[in-house]
Structure formats: C-alpha cells, structure tokens
Amino acid sequence: MTPSVNNSNNLPAISPDLILVCRDSGRWEIQGLSQRLALLLKIEPSHCVGHSPDTILTQAVPSITTLAAEVLEDGRDLTGIKVRLSPEQQGFLADLQFAGLTDDYLGQIVRISLRHETITNHDEINFRGMLGVSPAMREVFRKIRLYAPSSAAIIITGETGTGKELTAKALHDESPRKEQPFAALNCAAISEQLLESELFGHERGAFTGAVREHRGYFERANGGTLFLDEIGDMPAHTQTKLLRVLEDSKVQRVGGEQSRQVDVRFIGATNIPLEQAVATKQFRADLYHRLAVLRIHLPALRDRTEDIPLLADAFLQRFNQHYGKKIKRLTSEAIRLLQSYLWPGNIRELRNILERVVIEAETEAIGARAFTEWIHERQQFSSTSSTLTTAEQPEKHQNLPVAIPYTPTSTTPVYQTTIAPKSKNGKILLSEATIRNAYHNNNGNLSAAARELGVHRATLYRHLQNLNLSRNDLN
C-alpha cells in the first residue's frame, strides 16, 4: 500500500508538463517533460531526463525545485504560482501536485502543470491603484464607475486603513472633473479653532495671527472635488456652516462679509456609524441626509482574504524597488498565516508588516518564520486588549480576537524530541510509537518529523508503508 497524502486543495489529476522526482539523497531529477514545454524551451525532452531541473530551467523565477520542495515540506499542493520560465517566456501559472512515491520507494514525485495567466481585464484587478479580485471589491469598483459621473455628495464608510482616500481619488479621476483640483483634508487632524479657517478660509485680521488672507479648501477645490476624511469628528458649529455651503454653494470666509460662489463635488468619509452619531446628537441629522445621497462601503481586509496574495505581491514589488531588494515571493505558508489574521489595521497594517520583513529578509522567498517576532508582539498586545474597539470595526466583529490563530509549527512543540534508534548494523529502526510521537511533535508536518528522526522523508514513507499506516492514521 502506498501512503496517502492529504491534498487540501482537492485537485483533480493534472496533465503534467514536468514530472520531478526527489531522490532519497535529496537530489531533484527530471523524470518527464511534455512536448509543449520542450517546444517552449526549445530543447529535446529525452535529453532532460535524469538531469536537475535547475540545469534545464536555469532562468525560471521562482526556482522550480524550490516550489517542488515546498510541496513536500508542507504536504500540500500549490496552485496558481506565477512563474517566469525565461525573460522571453513569461505569464505562466504553475500548479504543483504531490503525486506519491516512485515504485521502488526511492524518491517522491511532484507533477507540475503550466498554464498561461489569463487576465481578461486588468482594470478588474487594479482599478485606479486599488487592488482586488474579491466580490466585495468588485462591487466597490462597480459603484465608483456608476457614481463618478454624478455631482451628488458621497459618503465612504469603512474601518481605518481600508483605503477611503484612495476611493475618493478614484471617484475624482473617473469623473468629468478629473482635470480640476482634488483637495483632501482630515477633519480629525486639525484643531476645532483652525478647521473652519482651513475649510472656508479667512480674511486678513480675522483673528490673532491672521496676517494675510487665506483661501480655504472649498475655494482651492473649486471646479473639482473636495474630500473630507473623518467627517464624523467635525464639531457641531462647523457642521452648521458646512450644511449651508452644501445647500447654496457659497462660501463665506472667517471674518469676511462677502460670499464666494464655488462649484465643488463633495465626498466625505468616516470610520464610525453616522446613524449612531445622529442618534446621540453628535452629528446633525439634516447634514447626514444631505451627505448620504450616495454611499460606498469599503470591506475590512479580514472580509476579503482572497485579495491578500495580490496585495502582498504589490507591496513586495514596491519595497523591492525602494530598498534595492530582490525578493520574489511569500511562501504559501506565509500567505496562509497572513490570511488567518484579523487585521484591525487593515491594508495599512499589512503594508507596514511587509515593509518590515522585506527590510529584514536575506532570501528570495519570505517564509512564515519571518513573521515570528511580529506574531509575538501581536499576541502580547492582545493579552491586554483581546477585542477591537468600536471605532476600529463594526459591531458584528467587536468580539473577534486580535491575536493570530496560527503560528509556525516548529514554535509549539508538544512532545519530547525523538531521535530514531538504530540497529547494530546501523539501520534506522522506526516503530509506530516513534513515528507517531515525531509526527505530533511537529503538528503533522512529515518533513519536519523526518528531520527530527534523522531520516529522509522518503525513508519515513517506506516505514509507514511497512507498518501499513497512512498519514491519516497518524492523526
């Protein structure tokens, strides 16, 4: 009986372009090459059998053997990995599938299928600098296109770090006003005394320190778009003046007597429920109804985890260029770790942690271990504050923990470390109890269990076969 492997992706049998075998010695060899791949590489298939894939695919990025080793290491398949075979052969996606052991149990087989990357519409993935393939983000893109031609006021809602200003800029760039000014102001970042001056301007001598006249944001955005972030924090008196401007499109500077006509498309944003603020008398009901003509809600990152690989890749490219690095990708284990976290800081937090690991990285691929220190920091933080605040997330998520519910398997040993005994002639002796102990000690990672036992993974599989055990039997 051949030991089985749990393929979490439930892939059907693939028609491989490349069949690799990892020998008991750890050496990778090409066992088969499709005619299609041979034509792409302009080589003879028979000349490749038995050779290392790195000597045939010398310019592949990332390394094919690195990906195949990851399949064996994690015990699961990889799908949709972007691969460049050579500078001339780009735009491929690789699907790697663990295929079991060779007939003589002297190696493990990984089958690789290559397919062209098909993106029918680039704007569906990168829309005005906003990245996403999730249904929630596709709905955001749809609303931006729908609302942009209008001059009606818009409210953008969403947690901190979800990209509200980027959404406002996309609305402006898609609108007929795109050639006119776009002005953005954070209401929470300015004191109450200065906010009115910044919004509506002031005349010379209007107050102490007003040594010259000042054009406010409404005048500066005339003909274009004005974006006010954190509008829910606006003082009550300023709300009254804002309502008047929105009603008659006239601005009166602080200390002035003359009104000035302005033509501004208004966009507001908030991370707090305005309906709740209206109910508690913190926000004017008439201003709320004037603003909430149109609304766009930005999903939290934890609600669009399928976008995390896309965002991570974009940040890697940005930080590679900025810091002169050559990091190719995150490993699948690192991606799963990021997708298991709740991201109270959303995209801004993701960007910050990726910048950190890129600066610290010394390899071409970033694995889950690179995030160990950050995980510990977040767990310490969550021990003193196990829930997110109301302002950071909507009510339905207020009881979600901040802590990452996933850690690299090697950091949480359960059983005592096991070294496999040897017979008098030096042959490795593995009992069921010994294998089971090492398996659980490494949280089901067979490669790590084999390393702990001091044997190759293929050797461990041979012993499982001799004991009539499958991987599922060890759970």
Q: What is the pLDDT of residue 83?
A: 83
Q: What is the pLDDT of residue 182?
A: 97
User: CA 62, CA 231: separation in Å to the nearest integer?
Assistant: 46
387 and 441 co-located in one domain: no
The position carrying tokens 């005394």 is 193
Is 385 domain-assigned? yes
Is 330 domain-assigned? yes
User: CA 7, CA 106: separation in Å to the nearest integer?
Assistant: 21
User: CA 209, CA 213: separation in Å to the nearest integer?
Assistant: 11
Q: Answer with the one of 297, 324, 342 that is the final residue of a domain.
A: 297
Is 10 domain-assigned? no
329 and 444 co-located in one domain: no
User: CA 108, CA 102: separation in Å to the nearest integer?
Assistant: 6
Q: Residue 94 sits in a domain of what CATH number?
A: 3.30.450.20
Q: Please tell me whether the overall predicted TM-score, pTM, comes out greater than 0.75 for this model.
A: no
Total domains in the fold of the chain: 4
Is 262 domain-assigned? yes
Is 128 domain-assigned? no
Neighbours of 279 (CB within 10 A): 11
Which amino acid makes up residue 433? A
Q: What is the pLDDT of residue 256?
A: 78
User: CA 119, CA 131: separation in Å to the nearest integer?
Assistant: 14
80 and 23 co-located in one domain: yes
Q: What is the pLDDT of residue 258?
A: 84
For the chain, state the CA radius of gyration.
29
Q: What is the pLDDT of residue 103?
A: 64
157 and 220 co-located in one domain: yes
Q: Answer with the one of 66, 83, 116 that is the final residue of a domain.
A: 116
The answer to whether 113 and 296 are in contact (CB under 8 A) is no
Cα–Cα distances (Å) from 404 to 259, 302, 378, 386, in that order, read: 55, 12, 7, 11
Return the structure tokens found at 473. 């039997």
Sign of the torsion angle spanned by Cα atoms 141, 147, 149, 154: negative
The 3-class SS string of the chain reads CCCCCCCCCCCCCCCCCEEEEEECCCCEEEEEECHHHHHHHCCCHHHCCCCCHHHHCCCCECCHHHHHHHHHHHCCCEEEEEEECCCCCCCEEEEEEEEEECCCCCEEEEEEEEEECCCCCHHHCEECCEECCCHHHHHHHHHHHHHCCCCCCEEEECCCCCCHHHHHHHHHHCCCCCCCCEEEEEHHHCCHHHHHHHHHCECCCCCCCCCCCECCHHHHCCCCEEEEECHHHCCHHHHHHHHHHHHHCEEECECCCCEEECCCEEEEEECCCHHHHHHCCCCCHHHHHHHCCEEEECCCHHHCHHHHHHHHHHHHHHHHHHHCCCCCEECHHHHHHHHHCCCCCHHHHHHHHHHHHHHHCCCCEECHHHHHHHHHHHHHHHHHCCCCCCCCCCHHHCCCCCCCCCCCHHHCCCCCCCCCCECCCCCECCCHHHHHHHHHHCCCCHHHHHHHHCCCHHHHHHHHHHCCCCHHHHC
101 and 202 co-located in one domain: no
Is 121 domain-assigned? no
User: CA 233, CA 277: separation in Å to the nearest integer?
Assistant: 10
Q: Answer with the one of 265, 297, 329 that is the final residue of a domain.
A: 297
384 and 443 co-located in one domain: no
Return the structure tokens found at 309. 């690989």
150 and 220 co-located in one domain: yes
Is 126 domain-assigned? no
Q: Residue 369 sits in a domain of what CATH number?
A: 1.10.8.60
Domain ranges, residue 71: 18-116
Is 255 domain-assigned? yes
149 and 253 co-located in one domain: yes
354 and 419 co-located in one domain: no
Q: Residue 142 sits in a domain of what CATH number?
A: 3.40.50.300
Residue 295's Cβ-count burial label (10 Å; 0-12, 13-18, 19+) is middle
Neighbours of 99 (CB within 10 A): 22
User: CA 432, CA 465: separation in Å to the nearest integer?
Assistant: 11
Q: What is the pLDDT of residue 359?
A: 94
Q: What is the pLDDT of residue 429?
A: 61
**Tens of pLDDT along the chain (475 residues)?**
333 333 333 444 457 899 999 887 788 999 999 888 888 888 888 888 889 998 888 888 778 888 888 888 777 788 888 788 876 777 788 888 888 777 666 788 999 998 877 654 555 678 888 998 888 898 899 999 999 999 999 999 999 999 999 999 999 999 999 999 999 999 988 887 788 888 988 787 667 666 678 888 999 999 999 999 999 989 988 999 999 999 999 998 887 778 899 999 999 999 888 888 899 888 999 999 999 889 999 999 998 988 998 899 999 999 999 999 989 888 888 888 898 888 999 999 999 999 999 999 988 889 888 998 888 888 777 665 544 443 444 443 333 334 444 343 333 333 333 444 444 444 456 777 778 877 777 777 777 777 777 676 767 777 777 777 777 777 6
235 and 320 co-located in one domain: no
Tell me the backbone φ, ψ of residue 138, rounded to 5 degrees. Answer: -65, -35
Q: What is the pLDDT of residue 384?
A: 57
Tell me the backbone φ, ψ of residue 92, rounded to 5 degrees. Answer: -110, 150
- Write down how long the chain is: 475
For strands 265-270 and 365-366, give the pairing: unpaired
362 and 309 co-located in one domain: yes
30 and 54 co-located in one domain: yes
